[in-house]
Amino acid sequence: EAGVAQSPRYKIIEKRQSVAFWCNPISGHATLYWYQQILGQGPKLLIQFQNNGVVDDSQLPKDRFSAERLKGVDSTLKIQPAKLEDSAVYLCASSLGTSAYEQYFGPGTRLTVT
């Protein structure tokens, strides 16, 4: 089966600019996750969708980050305005059921904020 797709793979922006990332989960997967992975650390959950509803966004910096999952399939994550500390890899993952079991990750988007 096809895996989780993400684009772009790399992005370099200046601070205070905006950026958007796109994710297409594995077909049929109900739950979609966005993670932030800072160099040398494990992924940290930003937001979790079940179908097109938000399950958990407690760690999403809502003053600058937003995400949506229209029609319960693709999702976009936006940062506006970006800060230097947002430099990280943004990983999208999906799982078949409504729990967090067996999450499969996409290749990620490496964001560099200068």
Partner 1 sequence: GENVEQHPSTLSVQEGDSAVIKCTYSDSASNYFPWYKQELGKRPQLIIDIRSNVGEKKDQRIAVTLNKTAKHFSLHITETQPEDSAVYFCAAYGAGSYQLTFGKGTKLSVIP
As measured in angstroms, the least distance from the Cβ of 70 to partner 1 is 22
Nearer to partner 1 (CB atom), residue 5 or residue 81: 5
As measured in angstroms, the least distance from the Cβ of 81 to partner 1 is 27
Q: Residues in the site for partner 1, rule: CB under 8 A? A: 4, 40-45, 48, 55-56, 91, 99-108
**β-strand partners of 67:** 77
Nearer to partner 1 (CB atom), residue 80 or residue 99: 99
Q: From the DSSP assignment, how many helices (H) and strands (E) are in the chain?
A: 0, 11
Write the DSSP assignment of 72-92 as a string of letters. Answer: GS-EEEEESS--GGG-EEEEE
DSSP state of 99: S
